[in-house]
Amino acid sequence: MQQSKRGKKKVTLLSATLLSATCMIGSGWLFSAQLTARYAGNWAFAAWILTAALVLMVGLCLARVVAIHPVRGALAQASALSYNNIFGMPFAFANWFGILMVVATEAQATTQYLSSAIGSSLLIENYRLTTWGKVLALSILGLYLMVNFYGIRWLTKINNVVTVLKIFTPLFALTVLLIVVFTRNQTGSNFSLSSNQEFEFHSAFSAIIGAGLIYSYNGFQVSVAFASEIKKPRRNIPLAIILSIVIITLVYLSLQFAFMEAVPHELLIENGGWQGLNFASPLLDLATLLGLHFLALVLLVDSVTSPSASGYTYLGASSRILFGMAQVGQMPRWLAVLDPVHNISRRSILVNWVLAAIVLANADSWAALMVIVTGYHVVSYMAAPISMGALEPNTRWFGLIVFVLLSLLMLTLESSSLLLLCVSLSILVSIYATLHISGAGIHKLIVFTLPFLTYLWILYFVSSIWLVVIVSAVFYLVISSRPYVEFCKSHNMERGG
């Protein structure tokens, strides 16, 4: 942290990198190694690399937008700043709601691991939180609220300490598992299983969403949400994104190898390969199976600290996103009031906390909630290449590639999850349109919100890869064209709400 000219604290490159890295070691690392193996087999490593490359491309697009508009909740505001606040509604809602749901997902992950540790149905029964499970999860949410209520200075101080613990635990688990791998006498390698032939390259692509890889990497954008509070944002934000992604990719690749090779060979054969492996709490169950009780204890502690650190950081990020939406008239103006002492919107934090509690009370398993959350993340990512192309026309071809890749990724969502995504965004935008119809006019609401919603519904009804590529490319080139961008800017609504 460093002092700015106005006397307010600014986040340094180190703290910005740690903010992103912290969120990329949340609940994802506790579950994704097993899920990725089940989805992709030996192609699991390709899945991690593909995901890292994709989020890095999105991050670079977003960094260009932030370089021009270093504002709070930049990803949610990006399309509003480059087009207008009506056009930006679907992206803003997807970004805000996706990050908001992560807060609930992290509390769900901690509760699920604790339930497995005590070996009873006291907290979770039939894959749903019990009454006691909900009480515990809501108590965890209460801790997230306390950490955020006193501003960025307290959050980053706590986060810098917790990050050391969060980095230590995966490295410790990785070291112990590698020692097991290289010292035990096991007949046959898990990577030589005949069942691995069932997996192909497309398995790696489908694992990006299904196995929680996008979910695990989503923390890269947290430093962007704090853009207005970061020292030298034009330089430090892209550096924080790149450094955090590279570091976490190395951790995840190593952990994937250690997990896949440490699972007893006989167990895999009995279960018919990776697709039959189904640990409730993967790393904890594996450590217990191998007799590594000290590691199991460390993992149990980490199942509280890692998701919780991500949870309170995401609550802070989502509050800044909601604040940003209120500033550009996409949410009620009273949410854009900053606390004069701590320089945060406590109203936004409280609103997000209540909504996260509602989501948590209706949550199923971690994996089911994670897939839905990831769908919102991917839609919100689409704002980055679109806004970059609108602000800097010379970057449109790079933006086109990123946008098409994100569109293809949407095809890997289950039909029911994609339908839920399309319906929920349509409902949210419809509510917004109803509230603003007198000020904006029905024609503006239709012209600016209908194109992207229509495009999303096309992705739901069309399954042909090449047709999706063509439609996505045409859609991107049209909405990022100078005439359309200028048309949107000339019909912007007054800020407020």
Query: For 133-153, how does the pLDDT look when each residue is reduced to its tens digit (9 = 90+)?
Result: 888 888 888 888 877 766 556
Distances in Å between the Cα of 175 and the Cα atoms of 67, 170, 316 are: 39, 8, 33
| 306 three-class SS | helix
Strand-pair partners of 2? 10
CB 410 within 8 A of CB 374: no
Higher pLDDT, 240 or 69: 240
Report DSSP state, residue 277.
-
Domains and CATH numbers, the chain: 2-374 (1.20.1740.10)
pLDDT bin (cut points 50, 70, 90) of residue 257 is: very high
* pLDDT tens per residue, range 29-51: 888 899 999 999 999 999 999 99
Residues whose CB is less than 8 angstroms from the CB of residue 321 and which lie 6 or more positions away in sequence, other chains included: 72, 73, 75, 76, 92, 95, 96, 99, 225
Rounded to whole angstroms, what are the CA distances from 446 to 82, 166, 389, 449, 451? Answer: 18, 46, 23, 6, 8
What's the CA angle centered on 102, arms 100 and 107, to 5 degrees? 115
The total number of residues written for the chain in this structure: 497
Structure tokens at 2: 């460093």
What is the identity of the amino acid at 44? Answer: A
Residues 357 and 106 sit within 8 Å (Cβ to Cβ): no
SS (H, E, C) 372-437: HHHHHHHHHHCHHHHHHHHHCHHHHHHHHHHHHHHHHHHCCCCHHHHHHHHHHHHHHHHHHHHHHH
- One-letter amino acid for residue 103 of the chain: V
Provide the token pair at 122: 């006291």
Task: Give the tens place of pLDDT for each residue, 57-71.
Answer: 999 998 888 888 776
Cα–Cα dist 275/277, whole Å: 6
Instruction: Give 158-162 contacts, CB < 8 A, sequence gap 24+.
Output: 158/312, 159/15, 159/18, 159/19, 159/22, 159/309, 159/313, 160/15, 160/18, 162/22, 162/305, 162/308, 162/309
Which amino acid is located at 463 in the chain? S
User: pLDDT tens-digit profile of 290-319?
Assistant: 999 899 888 888 777 777 777 777 787 777
Tens of pLDDT, residues 420-441 = 899 989 988 887 777 666 666 6
* Cβ-Cβ contacts under 8 Å for 101 (sequence gap 6 or more): 356, 359, 369, 372, 373, 376
**Mean pLDDT score of the chain, rounded to an integer?**
82
Q: What's the pLDDT score for residue 76?
A: 60
At 189, list the tokens. Answer: 């390698």
CA distances from 482 to 99, 103, 175, 389, 472 (A): 31, 38, 53, 9, 18
157 is written with which tokens? Answer: 């101080």
For residue 3, pLDDT beyond 60:
no
